[in-house]
Chain A
Amino acid sequence: MAQVRFSNIGKTYPNGFEALKPTDFEIQQGEFAVLVGPSGCGKSTLLRMVAGLEEITSGELSIAGRIVNAIDPADRDIAMVFQNYALYPHMSVRKNIGYGLKNRGLPKTEIARKVDEAAALLNLGDHLDSKPSQLSGGQRQRVAMGRAIVRDPALFLFDEPLSNLDAKLRHQMRIEIKALQRRLGVTSVYVTHDQVEAMTMADRIIVMNAGRIEQIGTPAEVYHEPASTFVASFMGAPPMNLMRTRAEAGQLHLNGGALCETEHEGEVVVGVRPEDFLPDPDGAISMQVDIVEELGGHRLLHGQIGDDTVTVHVSNEFAAETGPLDLSVKPGAVCVFDAEEGHRI
């Protein structure tokens, strides 16, 4: 069942800026959908439209089967976690978590029970009477989570909730949030500009660019079958190697060496993931290695294939050194994109 349905949803700000081009898609019941894209591409705009904090200027939005365009944020049955937590500074942790419930007219004992339950779940038991200013960043983050889960909503919305945390805590909270969502089974839309976060947390990734949705798919689809050169270069660290070349007589060539067979003809862009290049003494593609980057578990070789800058991922067993290196490509690992428009062909 579709929990959130976007029908032709678009947003034009009062100053005439079109932040979101009209789009259609659905998010399924219980799904963890991650909206990812570079800064300014309209992720927050889309999320805030779902929350009701930003007016929907075209199309129809339905949550749990109900059209919510004209419904107040408080009545949409959603909960939102903000980037800077947005806790009420003058309220204790207990009141922060319980505030939404109090306004729904729940009896006091019921609120206390739910708050204690959420606090136990989030390890906040010792801090219920503290003010937000007395908490660490990670604890504030948990309070914000607590405020969201006690509402028992139809939909969780997260706007870059981890970007204010340090790398270690971010990694830990990432796992906690994902586990919590699994456990509660609540449909979630999660905004981030960090593609690692997107890959690790998402059931489905929605890649956005300049107000447009470039691709919707599982992490594996988005990674291995990017719909455009934008997705190919945005997802993955290091990103997919993109190289301009020609297809002639059913064959793709790279720097003189045969790459693979193809049905296309003429100018194209080919994409190969760094780990899909294999060092191979009999390989047809020759690379000039300039820098060897030692990363412990593996090595990254940076260099040139013809005029294109490329990165190749090799295991630490491979004795890499600078200079010429012959490569082959894993079968079926080549993506071909239109040379002009950048979409996959």
Chain B
Amino acid sequence: MKRAGFSTPWLPVLLLVPQLAIIAIFFYWPAIVALHSSFYLQDPFGFGSTFVGLENYTHLLGSAEYRRVAVFTLTFTLLVTFFSLALALLLAVKADKVLRGAKTYRTLLMWVYAVAPPVAGFIAVILFNQSWGPLTELFGLFGHTYMVGVNFNDTAFAMILASVWKQVPVNFIFFLSALQSIPRSVREAALIDNRSASGRFWDVTFPLLAPTGFFLLIINITYALFETFGIVDTVVKGEPGNNPMTLVYKVYVDGFRGNDLGGSSAQSVILMVLVLALTIFQFRLLERRIHYT
């Protein structure tokens, strides 16, 4: 193959500069600053800082509050990931069977994807509004006084609901296209081999969706961990108090509300390591992604 070449060595560098600059300014620079300040104790009033070594980290790991948030984040991530995937799969399997009006259903489901996370959070807040939220009224019918922002579980439920609702469409589209790429004759062969529809699903359809499922699993974990920031922020309205929050949100609360820049930086370094691990795992998986044909 003929390789295209540049006449001057400066042109390729010049072309890369904008992208590199953006990465440097918005990722490497803050990352280095965070790593640096995670070893210092900042004066809350901005009068200098003292080197404290790993104290910010040891303090975090010893903190019951930090562990509480970590446990909540884990639970939140598992629930959001599980329900986003399960609901999307259910909807995709049903939509795959629809013949008439299939396009309309798909478009309606996809619209949610265009909603920004804070807006999704805001919609959840409206649905659970203390005095006139329709879902609050629904829970009221069952004798439960729903209090978003006051009751820990109620708030957590609203967050999970909004996060799942927001993520289902993406998963749905991936699952649907995976379903539709299963050859028709393979399904028909299964129809002759197995009279039970659920048996056919678990024996044939589900394993053939597995590669897509693995990929979506990683995407969804990353989403639940990091991208739900906007939803969490809208639902707790910047008043953490006793409310549930995720690790990412705690970075923000501690750093910008509590002015504990050192501790907050240490937290973001921990999260950075987590993202790195997830990314490596994802690339490994994608490389080895099972190709059946």
Contacts and interface: CB of A to CB of B under 8 A. Distances in A.
Interface of A: 51-53, 72-75, 78-80, 82-84, 86-90, 99-100, 103, 131, 133, 147
A52 B195 CA distance: 12
B199 A82 contact: no
9 contacts: A51-B192, A72-B191, A73-B188, A74-B193, A82-B188, A90-B210, A99-B193, A103-B199, A147-B193
Nearest to B192: A73
Nearest to B187: A86
A53 B188 contact: yes
Contact of A82 (B185, B193, B194, B203): B185
Nearest to A78: B192
Contacts of A89: 186, 208, 292-293
Interface string B182-224: 0101101111111110010001100110100000000000000
A55 B196 CA distance: 19
A82 B191 contact: no
Interface of B: 183, 185-186, 188-196, 199, 203-204, 207-208, 210, 292-293
A15 B186 CA distance: 25
Contacts of B191: 52-53, 72-74
Contacts, number: 64
Contact of A103 (B195, B208, B293): B195
Nearest to B199: A103
A80 to B, nearest CB: 6
A103 B188 contact: no
A90 B195 contact: no
A90 B292 contact: yes
Nearest to A101: B193
Contacts of A75: 195
B189 A88 contact: yes
A79 B194 contact: no
Contacts of B186: 86-89
Contacts of B293: 89, 133
A100 B194 contact: yes
Given A99-B203, A103-B199, A133-B292, A86 B188 contact: yes
Contacts of A82: 185, 188-189
Contact of B192 (A79, A84, A131, A133): A79
A47 B128 CA distance: 57
Contacts of A74: 191-195
Contact of B190 (A51, A83, A88): A88
A86 B192 CA distance: 12
Contacts of A131: 292
Given A82-B188, A131-B292, 10 more contacts: A72-B191, A72-B195, A74-B195, A82-B189, A84-B185, A87-B186, A100-B193, A103-B194, A103-B199, A147-B189
Q: Determine which residue in B193, B194, B293 has the highest number of CB atoms from chain A within 10 A of its CB, and name it.
A: B193
Contacts of B208: 89-90
A51 B186 CA distance: 14
Contacts of A88: 186, 189-190, 204
B80 to A, nearest CB: 28
Contacts of A84: 183, 185
B69 to A, nearest CB: 40
Shortest beta-carbon contacts, A-B, top 8: A74-B195, A86-B185, A89-B292, A100-B193, A86-B189, A103-B194, A90-B207, A82-B185
Nearest to B182: A89
Given A90-B292, A99-B203, A133-B292, A80 B189 contact: yes
Contacts of A51: 188, 192
A147 to B, nearest CB: 8
Nearest to B188: A53
A100 B292 contact: no
A52 to B, nearest CB: 8
A86 B186 CA distance: 5
Contacts of A78: 192
A146 B87 CA distance: 38
Q: Determine which residue in B183, B192, B207 has the highest number of CB atoms from chain A within 10 A of its CB, and name it.
A: B192
A99 B194 contact: yes
Contacts of B203: 99
A80 B183 CA distance: 16
B211 to A, nearest CB: 10
